[in-house]
Copies of this chain bind each other. A is one copy, B any other.
Amino acid sequence: MPSRMTLLVSSLINCSHIMRQEAFGAAKVNASLQFSVRGRALMGQKMFAVLEQARRIESQGAKVYHLELGNPRLPPPPAILSRTVQALIEQEVGYTQSAGHPALRQAIAQLRERAWGHTITEANVVVSPANLIINQFFDLVCDPGDKVVFFTPAFPSYWAAATHMGLQVEGVTLDLVTGYDLTDEAITRALAARPKAIVVNSANNPTGAVYGREPLERLAVECDRLGIWLLSDETYGEISFGRPFHSLGGLELPRLVVMSSFSKLFSVPGYRIGFVIAHPDVAEKFALSVSTLVSCLPIFTQLGCVAALDCIEDYTASVRERCVSMTEWCDQALQGTNRISFVPPKAGFYYFLDISACGLDDLTFAQRLLEEQQTAVTPGSSFDPSLRSHIRIATCGSVLDVHEGVRRLVALAETL
C-alpha cells in the first residue's frame, strides 16, 4: 500500500490546495483575482485539513487511524440527544434570540453562579460557537497591528483568528521541563509585552497542563491593572483529573472574558455550541456580533444543551474516568520508546509529543506517519510556528483508533 498512500498523501503538507478539482474555471485559473488583506491572510485550522485529507483517503477504501482532532467518540448524554430530537419533532426550527435561547443562558448562568459564588445572570451570558468566540473576542477588542500574547504551544484557532485579523502575535513559550505549567516568569514576560489582549487556556490544549490558582489570578489581576483584555479559555476545565481546575470566573473583572464549550463537556463537537461569560457591556457586544455574523444559533441544539446541563456532573465524571484510563494506557505505550518525550496530561485528551529524537521535522513526521502507518496526527507547528519537532495526538476517538494509532506512532518512531 505505501505507493498508493504516498500518492494519496502527496498534498498533505500543502493543505491549502486540498479542495482543488477540475471544475468551472479551474482550467482558467484567474491570477488576477484580488482578495482582501484579510482574505489573503486566512490560514484555517490545519487539523481540519488533515481530517479532510484522511477522509479523502478513507473514501478510497483505506483505513486511517484518527489522532488528529479532538473529536470525542464517547456517547453523549442521552438527554442532549433526546431533547434535541424532541424539539425537531415539535418543529422548533425557527429563529431565536441572537444572544442565545433564554433557557440556555439562564441554565449556564445558574451553573456558573453555583461554581463561582457571585451573581451571574442571563445578561452575562452569550451563546456562540466556541471557535467563533475566539474570533469575536479579538474582533471586539483588537485593531489590525495590535499585539496579542498566547502562552505556547497554543490552540491553532488562536493563531488562525489572530493571523486572519492582522494581529501581531507574541508567543510566550511554556516548557516541557516545567511540565508546560504557567510560570511566574512566563506571566512577567507576557505582561511586559504590553499587549492589547492575552489568551490563557487552562486546562490546556495541547499540553494537558492545568494551571494553579495563584499564577492564574496574578495574571488576571495584573491584566486588569494594566488595561489588558484577558480571554480565559476554560473549555477543558471540567475534564481535569490530575490537578484541581481553577476557573478565573470567580474574579469579577470587566476586561476578563471566560469562555467554554459543550463540544467536549458533552462529547458533541458537531453541535457547535459554546458560551462566553463577561461583563454585561462586553456580553452585549458579543450578542451584537452574533447577530451580525450568524443571526442566531439553532434552537433545537440549544434546548438539548439545557437538558444535558441537568446531568453535567455525572456525565463529566464519566468523561474524566475515560480520560484517566486512556491516559494510563497511552502513558505506558508512549513510554515504550525513548524517541518521544512528553508530560502526561492532567486534563483532557491531548498529548503534545516532542519527537526531536526522531530526527524529522513535524510535517515530515506527520506525512510519513500517514503514508507508512495510516495514522493522522496534527503537526506541532500548528500550535506555535517555531515548534518544529512536536506533534499533537488526541486520544478521545474510538479505542481502536487510539490504541492502534499510538502503536503505529511508536512503531514509526522506533524505526527512525
Contacts and interface: CB of A to CB of B under 8 A. Distances in A.
Contacts of A36: 139-143, 146
Contacts of A386: none
A332 interface: no
Most B Cβ at <10 Å: residue of A26, A43, A146, A267: A26
Q: How large is the interface on A (under 10, 10 to 19, 20 to 34, 35 or more residues)?
A: 35 or more
Contact of A24 (B72, B73, B252, B297): B252
A298 B20 CA distance: 23
Contact of A20 (B29, B32, B84, B280): B280
Interface string A131-148: 110010001111100100
B291 A272 contact: no
A12 to B, nearest CB: 15
A263 B169 CA distance: 38
B73 A81 contact: no
A21 B122 CA distance: 8
A353 interface: no
Contacts of A255: 33
Given A85-B88, A124-B24, A298-B301, A43 B292 contact: yes
In order of increasing CB-CB distance, the 4 nearest A-B pairs are: A44-B291, A39-B140, A23-B121, A21-B123
6 contacts: A24-B121, A26-B280, A39-B140, A76-B93, A85-B85, A129-B294
Given A24-B280, A52-B98, 7 more contacts: A19-B287, A23-B120, A24-B118, A24-B121, A93-B267, A161-B292, A272-B297
